[in-house]
């Protein structure tokens, strides 16, 4: 009788373990799927920025930001949530919004003046910049491996930027600064997350701030647009909003350390869209830079998983 009870408990435990493994695998699959969906959305956003034509980058940014604002307001209204941030978080929300807005402006300028695949890879330097900013903002000390990864990634960026003493390097340098600003913004997002701030509040405050920053240009220096350009910019904003929602969903299903490497596939999708719709092809130096940056990102990802298993 006792043996039967033990066998029953053993079977229940084994069944629970199988269910947990299946649930974990399912969440991982959903996380990767949502992340790849966000990659497609952000790739389309990059394409629409360029297809909108010869409009000021700030004007293009306005549509990206105002649609994200509408989405955040609708989401919070639907959930009947409070629009106020948690006590003590306003300063961090402001700094996140400031860094994020600078990042968007720089990224859109780079998209307008570089191959969109080059602009994408420079923007994806943000995780490496986040290592640097985490040291100053979160007081988190990186190890030798992580600092080495940062240095190698920046070497890869040099192949994309191709430093020279002429004005042609300016768009690439601005794209590099955009990745820096994005890394700072993501560090503040993480800090706010650790302090219990809601993700939609972070999106809302950023969207309000960035929209207000672009509003003076829209009022005093508005550039007339055709109906086609207006539709493209609306699609740009919708793509950005879709990407933001999907990437938030992705990291709710699985930890960033497990799936973040798939975010670098945006370089491939953006390059394909650039070739098909803009007749753009990256040169050999840029391809070498892509390989270095993506390669070190993959190695860093595998290292993170290995360290997590050791701690577990």
Q: Does 2 reside within a domain? A: no
Q: What is the mean pLDDT of each run of 10 residues along the chain (312 residues)?
A: 56 53 75 92 95 94 92 82 87 95 95 95 93 92 91 95 86 96 91 87 91 93 95 95 85 77 91 95 95 94 82 64
pLDDT at 20: 57
Number of domains in the chain: 1
The answer to whether residues 237 and 70 touch, using CB atoms and an 8 Å cutoff, is: no
pLDDT at 109: 95
Q: Does 20 reside within a domain? A: no
Task: Give me the sign of the Cα torsion angle 179, 293, 35, 117.
Answer: positive
Q: Does 3 reside within a domain? A: no
The rounded distance, in Å, linking the Cα atoms of 27 and 105 is 34
Q: Does 12 reside within a domain? A: no
pLDDT at 15: 53
Q: Does 270 reside within a domain? A: yes
Q: Does 16 reside within a domain? A: no
Q: Does 17 reside within a domain? A: no
Give 161-190 as a 3 state SS string: HCCCCCHHHHHHHHHHHHHHHHHHHHHHHH
Name the residue range of residue 151's domain: 26-311
The rounded distance, in Å, linking the Cα atoms of 102 and 85 is 22
The rounded distance, in Å, linking the Cα atoms of 307 and 50 is 41
The rounded distance, in Å, linking the Cα atoms of 46 and 15 is 46
Structure tokens at 311: 């701690």
- Residue 200's closest CA among 38, 81, 64? 81
Q: Does 13 reside within a domain? A: no
């Amino acid at each position: 009788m006792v043996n039967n009870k033990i066998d029953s408990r053993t079977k229940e435990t084994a069944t629970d373990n199988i269910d947990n493994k299946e649930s974990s695998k399912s969440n991982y699959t959903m996380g990767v799927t949502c992340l790849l969906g966000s990659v497609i959305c952000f790739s389309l956003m990059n394409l629409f920025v360029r297809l909108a034509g010869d409009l000021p980058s700030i004007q293009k940014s306005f549509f990206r930001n105002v649609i994200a604002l509408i989405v955040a307001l609708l989401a919070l209204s639907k959930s009947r949530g409070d629009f106020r941030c948690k006590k003590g978080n306003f300063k961090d929300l402001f700094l996140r919004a400031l860094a994020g807005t600078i990042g968007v402006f720089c990224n859109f300028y780079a998209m307008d003046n570089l191959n969109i695949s080059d602009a994408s890879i420079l923007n994806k330097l943000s995780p490496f910049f986040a290592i640097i900013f985490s040291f100053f903002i979160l007081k988190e000390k990186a190890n030798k491996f992580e600092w080495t990864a940062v240095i190698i990634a920046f070497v890869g960026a040099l192949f994309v930027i191709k430093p020279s003493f002429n004005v042609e390097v300016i768009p690439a340098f601005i794209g590099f600064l955009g990745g820096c600003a994005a890394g700072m913004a993501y560090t503040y997002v993480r800090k706010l997350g650790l302090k219990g701030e809601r993700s939609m509040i972070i999106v809302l405050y950023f969207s309000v701030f960035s929209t207000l920053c672009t509003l003076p240009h829209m009022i005093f220096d508005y550039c007339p647009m055709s109906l086609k350009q207006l539709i493209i910019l609306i699609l740009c904003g919708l793509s950005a909003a879709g990407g933001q929602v999907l990437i938030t969903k992705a990291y709710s299903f699985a930890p960033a350390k497990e799936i973040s490497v798939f975010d670098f596939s945006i370089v491939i999708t953006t390059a394909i869209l650039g070739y098909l719709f803009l007749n753009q092809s990256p040169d050999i130096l840029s391809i070498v830079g892509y390989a270095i940056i993506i390669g070190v990102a993959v190695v860093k990802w595998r290292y993170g998983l290995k360290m997590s298993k050791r701690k577990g």
